[in-house]
Structure 1
Amino acid sequence: MQFTDRHARPLGSIEVARILVLEPRRYMLGWFRALMPREDRFFDLFERHAATIVGGAAALRALLDGTEDVPLACQAIADHEDEADTITREALLAVRRTFITPFDRGDIQALVGSLDDAIDQMLKTAKTVQLFEVTAFEPSMREMGAVIQEAAAATAEALPKLRALGENAAVLNTLTERVIQLEGRADDLHNAGLKALFKASRQDPMAFVVGSELYDHLEKVMDRFEDVANQISSIVVEHV
């Protein structure tokens, strides 16, 4: 049997051997890759997760500002948290099933976990509001809501840029630094708010207990956003 190339020229024995050995392997590798989740899937999941935290942060701010009914705002946060849980499960399953991940599996798990923790804390804030039937919020709480929304927006802007780390390293550093600065601002608001609440609640200890719990949850939301920013920074350092 005579083997020829695409120009009908006869092939030598070495070329024939290469085709017989390598071509089947190439097709098998292509078939294998087709069965495995694409690397792009992780970036899609990051961006879907970003949408949940942006939606949750917007609902939380509306709750604190009083621009949305408490039950409706709390339900919106819960819906976004449910979606985030679904995305987290998908991401962790993809980590286990994917042969080659875009970056370290531990980094992916930590990043997704921090995103999920942020919206979990938003939901805990909403549940505290419902449990104690809170209808009015301190000025510092409302300011923290605005800070949280800004941090969510910066995080959502950063996550798609992980698709091209080399090109976007400088922008990612700027965005993560912004989130860290916002976390510092939230700490200041938390401390000032607690101090003002303590002074205003001398005759109503329960008001201080409820208010301090709300402040703590809001601060933890920002702590989790800081975790996300630190994780993104770590990925940039490792891969750029």
Structure 2
Amino acid sequence: MLFSKLLPREDNFFELFNQHARHTVEAAEAFVRLIRHYDDAALREKHSKEVDDAEHAADRITREVSRLLHKTFITPIDREQIHVLINTMDDVADLVQDTAQTMTLYDVRAITPEIERLADLNLKCCNCVRDAIALLAHVSQPDSAQAAIKTCEAIDQFESDADRVMRSAISKLFREQPDVRELIKLKAIYELLETITDRCEDIANQIEGVVLENS
């Protein structure tokens, strides 16, 4: 016991998680602004760059967490949990950027109500991830553990909502979209947007595991 107390310990992981989650929210917010101003080419480019900047900042945090894992003997939670959690969080930031870039590459002409709805659900999920991540350092306290679980349950609900929106959107495409090229484009965008909520649900599941092991 005395020996373990003398070993180097790194508790900065929680702050790095918090920073990453904030950058992901920034990316999701910028994406919402992008689609709201999609008809304005200058604003669309501006907000697309904001998405890129936020994703690059999140990437830097991911690399720092990886670096710390390699040099830290004792971690505040299980090493594998840290590895999986930060990489799944990074998947979310990557997917937001991928969606923005795909819309440009596919030359999507107009924003549908379904894209707006999915983007809104994505932002809500990212906000909940940020809130749940902020509680990780305090999950040994019953109130914080309970709050984290409730926030994860909200993420699960938003993911279910996004799944329903996507299924309805794709059904509508096949019934009403006569242009096959537009159908293919929009289907890909819908699926990317729904995958963001899937990854947020994965993060929620990992957070719930951390809470159960440490509360």
Alignment TM-score, normalising by the size of structure 2: 0.91
User: Which AA in structure 1 matches 2:29?
Assistant: A
Partner of 2:116: 142
Partner of 2:194: 219
Query: Whole-Å Cα distance in 2 between the matches of residues 90 and 122 of structure 1?
Result: 21
Q: Shift in Å at residue 135 of structure 1? A: 4.0
Partner of 1:52: 23
Q: Which runs of 4+ in 1 moved over 6 A?
A: none
Q: Shift in Å at residue 83 of structure 1? A: 0.8
Partner of 2:170: 194
Q: Secondary structure at the match of 1:218?
A: helix
Query: Whole-Å Cα distance in 2 between the matches of residues 72 and 136 of structure 1?
Result: 18
Please tell me whether the aligned partners of residues 125 and 218 of structure 1 are also in contact (alpha carbons under 8 angstroms).
Answer: yes
Partner of 1:232: 207
Query: Whole-Å Cα distance in 1 between the matches of residues 200 and 149 of structure 2?
Result: 14
Partner of 2:59: 85
Once the two structures are superposed, the pairs formed by residues 101-120 of structure 1 within 5 Å of their partners are 101-120=75-94
User: Which AA in structure 1 matches 2:198?
Assistant: D
User: Which AA in structure 2 matches 1:141?
Assistant: I
* Structure 1 stretches lacking a partner, 5+ long: 1-21
Query: Whole-Å Cα distance in 2 between the matches of residues 126 and 166 of structure 1?
Result: 39
Q: Shift in Å at residue 221 of structure 1? A: 0.7
Q: Give deviations 1:105-138, integer Å, cap 9, x for gaps.
A: 0000111011100111111101111112224211
**CA RMSD after TM alignment:** 1.8
User: Which AA in structure 1 matches 2:34?
Assistant: L
Query: Whole-Å Cα distance in 1 between the matches of residues 150 and 169 of structure 2?
Result: 28
Q: Give deviations 1:159-216, integer Å, cap 9, x for gaps.
A: 11111112211000000000011000000010111111222212x1000000001001
Query: Whole-Å Cα distance in 2 between the matches of residues 126 and 63 of structure 1?
Result: 8
Once the two structures are superposed, the pairs formed by residues 11-22 of structure 1 within 5 Å of their partners are none
Q: Secondary structure at the match of 1:166?
A: coil
Q: Secondary structure at the match of 2:139?
A: helix
Which of 6, 19, 37 is matched with 1:66 structurally? Answer: 37
Identity %: 30
Once the two structures are superposed, the pairs formed by residues 164-175 of structure 1 within 5 Å of their partners are 164-167=138-141, 168-175=144-151
> Cα gap change, 1:225/1:74 in structure 2, threshold over 3 Å: closer, same or farther?
same
Q: Secondary structure at the match of 1:63?
A: helix
Please tell me whether the aligned partners of residues 132 and 210 of structure 1 are also in contact (alpha carbons under 8 angstroms).
Answer: yes
Count of residues in Structure 1 that have an aligned counterpart in Structure 2: 208
Partner of 1:13: none
Alignment TM-score, normalising by the size of structure 1: 0.82
Query: Whole-Å Cα distance in 2 between the matches of residues 137 and 95 of structure 1?
Result: 42
* Structure 2 stretches lacking a partner, 5+ long: none
Please tell me whether the aligned partners of residues 138 and 193 of structure 1 are also in contact (alpha carbons under 8 angstroms).
Answer: no
